[in-house]
Amino acid sequence: MSSNSAMGKVFRMILEIATLQVRPEDRAAFESAFPAAARILLSVEGYISHELQRSVDTGNRYVLLVHWQTKEDHTVGFRGSPQYQEWRKLLHHFFDGPPAVEHYELI
């Protein structure tokens, strides 16, 4: 397992990759709602950074890449928090099925 260092602090990061299938008719509304949901992430313990990318091959498929300090910061901390409930209210009604989520570590 590799470590990254920032400002002299050594830490291990986890990359969450969530594949989101958005109903085609909701694509614009999803993209408009995402910035508010992204602001929620900023307040979560263990959150480092994120980016959202849309597929150029399948226009209603997105990947959300989120860097966390630990996997538990996402799976326990965020998912067990009131912020997650806000996140779900903002975004989950746009999804065409549940997101596929996996966690990765840098090697």
| Domains in the chain with CATH codes | 4-105 (3.30.70.100)
Output the average pLDDT for the chain: 92
The pLDDT value recorded for residue 3 is: 45
7-16 pLDDT per residue, tens: 555 567 999 9
The residue ranges of DSSP E strands in the chain, in sequence order, are 4-6, 9-11, 14-21, 47-54, 61-68, 100-105
27-56 pLDDT per residue, tens: 999 999 999 999 999 999 999 999 999 999
Crossing angle between the packed helical segments 82-91 and 27-42, to the nearest 10 degrees? 170
DSSP annotation of 55 reads -
pTM summary value: 0.86
Q: Residue 9: helix, strand or coil by DSSP?
A: strand
C-alpha dist (Å) from residue 17 to 7, 14, 39, 46, 67 = 26, 10, 18, 16, 9
